[in-house]
Amino acid sequence: MSTDLGFTRRLAEFCAGLDLDDIPADVVGHLKLCIADTLACGVFGSTLAWSQDVVSMCQRLGRDGSATVWGTGHALGADLATLANGAQVHSFEFDDLHRRAIVHPGGVTIPAVAAWAEQDRSQVISGREFLTAVAAGYEACTRVGLAVGLGLMRRGWHNNGVVGTFGAAAATGRMLRLDPAAMEYAISMAATQSGGLMAAQYGSSVKRLHAGRAAQSGLYAALLAAGGYRGIDAVLEAPYGGFASTFSDSSDLDEIVSGLGEQWRLTGVGFKPYPACGSSHTGIDAALRLLADGTVHIEDIDWIRLAVSTAALEHVGWPYRPDTVTTAQMSLRFAVATAFVHGSVTVDSFADDRLREPAVLSLIDRIEVHPDARADAGGRDSRHLLTMSVGLTGGQVVSREVKYARGSDAFPLSPAEVRAKCVSLFESVLPPGCGEDIWGAVDSLEEAGNVLDLLALLRPS
């Protein structure tokens, strides 16, 4: 790969030429955790009313096909199944997260390649091909996410909807075996379809849809490129109307190609132990640690002050007013209060009757959130840095500082913990034993002659 080429072309050459043998075994192992976590979140997401609304809309379009809507008996055309499954994966704030790139790669990448593998039976996709395609997609969207940084989110764009298109385009393009020129056009056509507004976090259902639309747009981009459709030259670096110059106040395009093929950005993907916005997880951790060591008892709390980065303040630090599950999942105040009141934050924490729980609302009224100059000075690595101060009724003040959330790349869950999460989510929808079967199929993907054998397990029999 020539270093004289532009950023877009170098990324395209990497994605087009990637082979599973190029990827170290530990990176492949982490990628399998990503795949299992994504499938589990998608299967669980099928049970939610807002996911079912998306599936119903797709069915009204009358475009049947052979691509599975995970966790259901429905099948759709590849593009609509991609939309539905992407929305399901991101439907409960439980999907994988690259902390520094601010993107959830699974829901924007895997639905597209899975749907196309089921729709196009002219080519058998082995487990090795599937792993390679997903790796290309994860590297593409995380690297672009790292390049545009916080500037994109601070402008009010939803990173997942904007950056996610690259994951699906690169992954599907690799599965279609696009050459570098066609892959560059796939990437460029993904870029020009990017979108998603961050205001969706305030109570809407449509935030969930952003992942599905990004995956669907990436699928369209790759298929158009495979048919010879021409995209935009050098779209990532174009000075006027290009991706970085349009979407972000500040960018570092070197992040797209730095260490490409040697340093694997997908290993920075973490897995959520709590179904809430990742920017609230350090607050949950701080509360649970204070409870666990006996420093704080809920009945003794007089007030709570949270010092966070400006990015986190804008993202999750706004005043909580009971509305929808989305509102609660995107609220730092709700997450912290729930952690203190119940000693945990789980799927059940966001049941309808919990959103207005008097004990939680009472504690929320005593929580203040303030910007922290020290967190801002630390840049992207300190975006989730949180200092919690708790005033007790006796006048004592106790504090905890958490920089990296449990489950993030800096404080990872063990494979056994990821497995337990996935099996639980699978078996909340599918019959007992299916969770272990799916986990085993993902774990042995290199040996699978056809990825359809794995995808068949996502349908209730």
Cα–Cα distance for residue pair 89/83, rounded to 1 Å:
10
Question: 181-198: per-residue pLDDT in tens?
Answer: 999 999 999 999 999 999
Q: Report which DSSP code applies to 399.
A: E
Cα–Cα distance for residue pair 145/157, rounded to 1 Å:
12
Give per-residue burial for 394-404: e unless 16+ CB within 10 Å, then b.
eeeeeebebbb
- Phi-psi domain of 21 (left: phi exceeds 0; alpha: psi -120 through 50; beta: other): alpha
Question: 228-260: per-residue pLDDT in tens?
Answer: 999 999 999 999 999 999 999 889 999 999 999
Half-sphere exposure of residue 164: CA atoms within 13 angstroms, side-chain side: 36
Cα–Cα distance for residue pair 271/37, rounded to 1 Å:
7
CATH of domain 278-402: 3.30.1330.120
- 3-state SS, residue 307: strand
Burial class (CB in 10 A: 0-12, 13-18, 19+), 393: exposed
The residues of the chain scoring below 70 in pLDDT are: 1-4
Q: Which residue type is seen at 50?
A: W
Pairing of strands 301-308, 367-371: parallel
Select 7-273+415-456's CATH number: 3.40.50.450, 1.10.4100.10, 3.90.480.10, 3.30.950.10.
1.10.4100.10
List the domain boundaries for the chain: 7-273+415-456, 278-402
Question: 115-125: per-residue pLDDT in tens?
Answer: 999 999 888 99
Cα–Cα distance for residue pair 336/83, rounded to 1 Å:
32
Q: Report which DSSP code applies to 19.
A: -
How many H helices and E strands in the chain? 20, 8
Q: What's residue 117's pLDDT?
A: 97
Query: Cβ distance 54 to 84 under 8 Å?
Result: yes
Quote the tokens at residue 59.
């069915």
Task: Give percent of the chain with pLDDT exceeding 70.
Answer: 99
SS3 string of 183-196? HHHHHHHHHCCCCC
Token look-up 């063990």 returns 414
What secondary structure does DSSP assign to 405-454, as a single string? Answer: -TTSTTSPPPHHHHHHHHHHHHHTTSPTTHHHHHHHHHHTGGG-S-THHH
Query: Cβ distance 275 to 350 under 8 Å?
Result: yes
**Alpha-carbon dihedral of residues 91, 96, 99, 102, nearest 10 degrees?**
-50
Q: Please tell me the pTM assigned to this model.
A: 0.97
Query: Is-same-fold flag (7-273+415-456; 278-402)?
Result: no
Question: 63-98: per-residue pLDDT in tens?
Answer: 779 999 999 999 999 999 999 999 999 999 999 999
- 3-state SS, residue 80: helix
Q: What's residue 409's pLDDT?
A: 97
